Amino acid sequence: MTDLQTELQNSALAGLVDKERYISQDEYLPKLLFNTSEDHVKTHLDEELMTCQHFTFAVAFITEAVLTMLKPKLADLALKGVTGRILTSNYLSFNNPKVFKELLKIPNLEVRVLK
């Protein structure tokens, strides 16, 4: 296992199991993100996407509004050679098929839909 893999494993264990037992750098600790008047999930996503080499999103659903917000960022990432994956589902038929079709048009993105 590489040093980074060990650090990520320790961070997950520290953040989700026992912070006293596992030593981790703060930057790798898992965080619960939600929108407040002072902080927005989109801000964190933008920051992480600007520095990543690859990304994976595992989300229950993707709305047209979120896709509209993400498309320019994904286009910028494609120009930098950054690829990504989105894993989503058709649970309760919440996702609009139009969103799936639009996701498939993004060249640097692998899309998987669980049924």
pTM for this model (two decimals):
0.76
DSSP H helical segments within 1-115, as ranges? 3-16, 41-51, 64-79, 97-104
Banded pLDDT at 73 (limits 50, 70, 90):
very high
Predicted pLDDT at 25: 86
pLDDT tens readout for residues 85-98: 999 887 777 778 88
CB 87 within 8 A of CB 60: no
pLDDT of residue 32 exceeding 90? no
Sheet containing 109-114: order of strands: 54-58, 83-89, 109-114
